[in-house]
């Protein structure tokens, strides 16, 4: 270090690029921004409240958001110094961030040195020097010890080289009082009187240097987009190229252009190109490639912060996934059974945590039988060799004779297996996909269903050693949820969310969750985690994704981006001169919020509001959740309001649920109510808006699906036959059922690489971890109970939450 003077400067003195780079290293769960916030609490000035930490975590809901950058900005505003930040990083033992910050503050690095030149007299000579370091670097060229007037740019151009201008050249790069020098570059002159052979030899030697004429640039992309990096150089012999990511060479990346058609989060990192020929070599500038989520959960308004990327995690045994996909289903609003409270919060938090582990997540609330079957069938088609798959269900359930059943929201009062989804059928189908890891978590009751006497039997099981199967409770027991504040968790997720991000074998992690649950006094003797596994390898949910050029992966990423895109924000112009903004955000894959905001109105108009009405007939609309002044009044209890632009500007919110039932393009009317200051009568103008099929409505989950494969069963197996007469058409035509198909098309061959397609993750919210001491369980109720139990016989309390009323 050159002295403490530099370190006593504020964090804000770091360049924008360095703050973004540091934030990228902090955007991970194992050693990241949360740990930095904890370390910073040593100084009361930098202590963050729970609300501020929640606000930071909410940045993951935007594809351009970064929790780490948000926390750094808060520390900057409070006058945090670089020295204190360095101290916190040391306390965290975040060595990568320590090295990065030290380099950013203390070092200027020459990335391109000037090359030796030997050219004929009168020729044009260009000497180049490039350096990285703090913003505002200064350059000064020297010939010998003499400073060259005007030579204060990275490139020194000598239009007509003379004998007097030969010599050794060097460039000084400085920032304030700190400076560094490039290598010496001898420049020799070939006189016209030299022999032709000498001139030819000298010319060949002179032009054997290298000069990069076009550098790659930083990029921020969403998954599914194409990445193109370019590097051009001049030299003789012709230059050759080799691209690197995170200092590791990329196989077959040996051209001046590096293109990845459909990027994933595994492609995030720092890239540069090594350029070389027979005599020399140099390297391009190192650039950051940030890969954020698709627009699945992104509010459709601008949010101008750089996206962060997770730092590389420790690998348990050098295991990698070719991709990670997850389906989360939470059923709450049952038509004929007691409604539940926890599934929304459970799915919401699990979505966010899995997304931080680079899972592509689709989260769905309140599915009927057909929708559950279609969603699970489509999820099975995403599984293939090398993929990590995770399926989570929260809702009512039961178990008879070792067979478990997930209950959809439309199950009748005395339901049987034919009204439900058979867990063992799903598990066997998952196993057949030949994935590297299948995790199936059931957060539901396992009591007997006295209305059902069927005993279905699955077909023969294969030995795959890839299954982790977890129940939130044991046989003949209930799973409980906790009533606390407005967001209620089930007991299982309350403990799982504390362990999920740990870099441990998934079975070890779940065993520790079970141990934690066993210490909860209030549930002892009532609920205990049961885990079954045949996983033979030390695979963890934190294992990184190893990118692949397989077109199946590209198809998956592309479909994920397409099928979960939000409508574009738009501005409506009314004849009276009022401009209305129409924006969109998503809480879950099948739940969208529309907001209207008055952008501009003439002075003579006293007041005006823009309300939505006349929605498409096939969409279920709860009128009390339309045109509300707050998100809470619109039925949303999740903390997403911070993502909205200009919080002080009045808005009206409309919350649309069950988008999976939308059969046609979503159409509605925007009705502008306004009143002139000199008139008592209220006037109206109306505009009809069509926004297509948003989010998962493109997947047509309301349509029957063909099962990927059938299993043999007893005579009761007819309960599990599904109508497969109609299949969803893909959004893109394809000459064959090849890997380039970009839709959730239905194929029937398990394990086939041609069955891949994609869904998008929701952008969940990081919520502060709750302290689950027993005294905080204000009310404990059976979350998923025995089907024949009367709801009014149970002790259950609802807070004032309008979105949990039955339809």
Contact partners, residue 24, CB within 8 Å, separation at least 6: 66, 68, 268, 288, 290, 308, 309, 311
287: Cβ contacts below 8 Å, ≥ 6 apart: 216, 217, 218, 219, 229, 270, 271, 272
Distance CA 507, CA 469 (A): 9
CA distance 232 to 318: 35
Residue 80 half-sphere exposure toward CB, CA atoms < 13 A? 28
Phi, psi of 17 (to 5 degrees): -65, -40
Q: How far is CA 529 from CA 444, 496, 523, in A?
A: 11, 11, 11
Please, are residues 472 and 541 in contact by the beta-carbon 8 Å criterion?
no
What's the rounded Cα separation, in Å, for the pair 291 and 220? 6
For 561, list phi and psi in degrees, rounded to 5. -70, -40
The answer to whether the beta carbons of residues 420 and 408 sit under 8 Å apart is: yes
CA proximity to 311, closest of 546, 542, 132: 542
**CB burial readout 26-41, b (16+ within 10 A) else e:** bbbbebbbbbbbebbe
The distance in angstroms from the start CA to the end CA of the chain is 66
DSSP bridge pairs for 784:
479
Reading the block at residue 797, the tokens are: 């309390």
Structure tokens at 27: 């955007």
Which is it for the CA torsion 691, 695, 696, 699, positive or negative?
Answer: positive
The CA distance from 660 to 694, in Å, is 9
Residue 567: phi, psi to the nearest 5? -65, 155
The strand ranges marked E within 231-268 are: 232-235, 240-245, 248-249, 257-260
DSSP state of 47: P
**Tokens found for residue 10:** 């504020």
By CB atoms closer than 10 A (0-12, 13-18, 19+), residue 77 is exposed
What DSSP line would sit under 299-341, residue for residue?
Answer: -SS----PPP-PPPPPPSSS--BSEEEEEEEE----SSS---S
Question: 504: which 2 tokens?
Answer: 């441990």
d(CA 164, CA 536): 74
Cα distances (angstroms) measured from residue 484 to each of 341, 487, 490, 494: 10, 7, 10, 11
Active site annotation includes 396: yes
Whether 625 is catalytic: no
Q: Is 521 exposed, middle or buried (0-12, 13-18, 19+ CB in 10 A)?
A: exposed
Active-site residue identified among 445, 520, 608, 743: 445
CA dist 676 to 197, 604, 683, Å? 91, 6, 8
By three-state DSSP, how is residue 129 classified? coil
Q: Are 143 and 165 in contact (CB under 8 A)?
A: yes
Q: What is the Cα–Cα distance from 408 to 441, expressed in whole angstroms?
A: 16
Cα–Cα distances (Å) from 671 to 62, 578, 608, 618, in that order, read 29, 12, 10, 21
Q: Tell me which of 396, 419, 564, 625 is the catalytic residue.
A: 396
Residues annotated as part of the active site: 396, 445
């Amino acid at each position: 270090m050159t002295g403490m003077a530099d370190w006593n400067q504020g964090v804000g003195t770091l360049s924008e690029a360095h703050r973004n780079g540091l934030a990228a290293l902090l955007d991970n769960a194992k050693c990241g921004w949360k740990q930095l916030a904890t370390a910073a609490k040593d100084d009361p000035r930098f202590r963050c409240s729970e609300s501020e930490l929640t606000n930071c975590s909410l940045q993951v809901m935007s594809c351009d958001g970064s929790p780490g950058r948000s926390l750094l900005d808060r520390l900057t505003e409070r006058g945090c110094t670089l020295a204190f930040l360095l101290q916190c990083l040391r306390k965290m033992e975040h060595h990568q961030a320590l090295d990065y910050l030290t380099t950013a503050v203390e070092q200027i690095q020459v990335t391109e040195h000037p090359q030796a030149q030997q050219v004929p007299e009168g020729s044009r000579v260009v000497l180049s020097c490039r350096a990285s370091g703090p913003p505002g670097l200064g350059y000064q060229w020297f010939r010998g010890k003499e400073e060259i007037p005007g030579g204060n740019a990275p490139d020194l151009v000598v239009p007509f080289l003379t004998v007097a201008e030969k010599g050794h050249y060097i460039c000084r790069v400085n920032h304030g009082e700190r400076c560094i020098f490039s290598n010496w570059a001898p420049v020799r002159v070939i006189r016209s009187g030299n022999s032709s052979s000498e001139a030819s030899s000298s010319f060949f030697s002179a032009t054997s240097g290298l000069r990069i004429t076009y550098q790659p640039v930083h990029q921020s992309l969403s998954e599914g987009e194409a990445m193109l990096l370019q590097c051009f150089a001049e030299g003789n012999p012709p230059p050759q190229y080799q691209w690197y990511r995170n200092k590791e060479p990329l196989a077959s990346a040996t051209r001046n252009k590096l293109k990845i058609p459909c990027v994933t989060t595994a492609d995030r990192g720092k890239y540069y190109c090594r350029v070389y020929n027979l005599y020399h070599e140099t390297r391009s500038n190192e650039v950051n490639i940030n890969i954020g989520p698709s627009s699945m959960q992104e509010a459709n308004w601008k949010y101008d912060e750089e996206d962060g990327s997770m730092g590389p995690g420790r690998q348990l045994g050098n295991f990698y996934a070719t991709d990670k996909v997850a389906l989360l289903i939470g059923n709450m609003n049952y038509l004929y059974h007691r409604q539940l409270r926890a599934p929304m919060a459970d799915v919401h938090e699990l979505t966010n945590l899995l997304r931080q582990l680079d899972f592509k997540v689709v989260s769905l609330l309140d599915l009927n039988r057909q929708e559950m079957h279609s969603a699970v069938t489509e999820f099975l088609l995403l599984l293939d060799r090398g993929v990590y798959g995770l399926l989570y269900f929260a809702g009512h359930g039961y178990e008879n004779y070792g067979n478990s059943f997930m209950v959809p929201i439309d199950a009748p009062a005395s339901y049987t297996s034919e009204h439900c989804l058979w867990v063992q059928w799903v598990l066997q189908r998952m196993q057949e996909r030949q994935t590297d890891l299948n995790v199936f978590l059931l957060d539901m009751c396992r009591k007997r269903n006295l209305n059902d006497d069927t005993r279905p039997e699955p077909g023969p099981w294969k030995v795959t050693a890839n299954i982790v199967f977890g129940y939130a409770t044991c046989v003949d027991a209930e799973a409980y949820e906790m009533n606390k504040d407005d967001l209620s968790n089930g007991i299982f997720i309350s403990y799982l969310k504390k362990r999920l991000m740990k870099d441990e074998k998934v079975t070890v992690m779940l065993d520790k969750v079970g141990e934690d649950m066993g210490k909860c006094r209030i549930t002892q003797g009532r609920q205990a985690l049961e885990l079954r596994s045949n996983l033979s390898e030390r695979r963890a949910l934190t294992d990184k994704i190893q990118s692949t050029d397989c077109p199946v992966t590209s198809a998956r990423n592309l479909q994920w981006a397409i099928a979960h895109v939000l409508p574009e924000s738009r501005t409506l112009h009314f004849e009276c001169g009022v401009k209305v903004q129409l924006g969109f955000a998503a809480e879950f894959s099948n739940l969208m919020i529309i907001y209207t905001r008055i952008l501009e109105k003439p002075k003579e108009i006293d007041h005006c509001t823009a309300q939505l009405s006349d929605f498409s007939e096939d969409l279920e609309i709860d009128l009390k959740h339309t045109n509300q002044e707050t998100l809470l009044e619109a039925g949303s209890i999740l903390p997403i309001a911070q993502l909205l632009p200009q919080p002080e500007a009045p808005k009206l919110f409309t919350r649309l649920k069950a988008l999976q039932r939308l059969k046609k393009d979503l159409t509605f009317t925007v009705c502008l109510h306004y009143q002139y200051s000199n008139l008592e009568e209220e006037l109206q103008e109306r505009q009809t808006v069509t926004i297509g099929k948003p989010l998962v409505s493109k997947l047509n989950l309301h349509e029957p699906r063909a099962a990927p494969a059938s299993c043999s069963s007893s005579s009761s197996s007819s309960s599990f036959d599904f109508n497969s007469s109609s299949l969803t058409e893909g959004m893109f035509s394809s000459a064959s059922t090849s890997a380039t198909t970009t839709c959730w098309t239905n194929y029937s061959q398990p394990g086939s690489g041609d069955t891949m397609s994609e869904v998008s993750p929701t952008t969940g919210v990081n919520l502060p971890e709750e302290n689950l001491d027993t005294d905080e369980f204000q009310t404990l109720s059976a979350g998923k109970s025995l089907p024949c139990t009367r709801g009014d016989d149970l002790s259950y309390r609802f807070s004032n939450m309008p979105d949990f009323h039955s339809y």
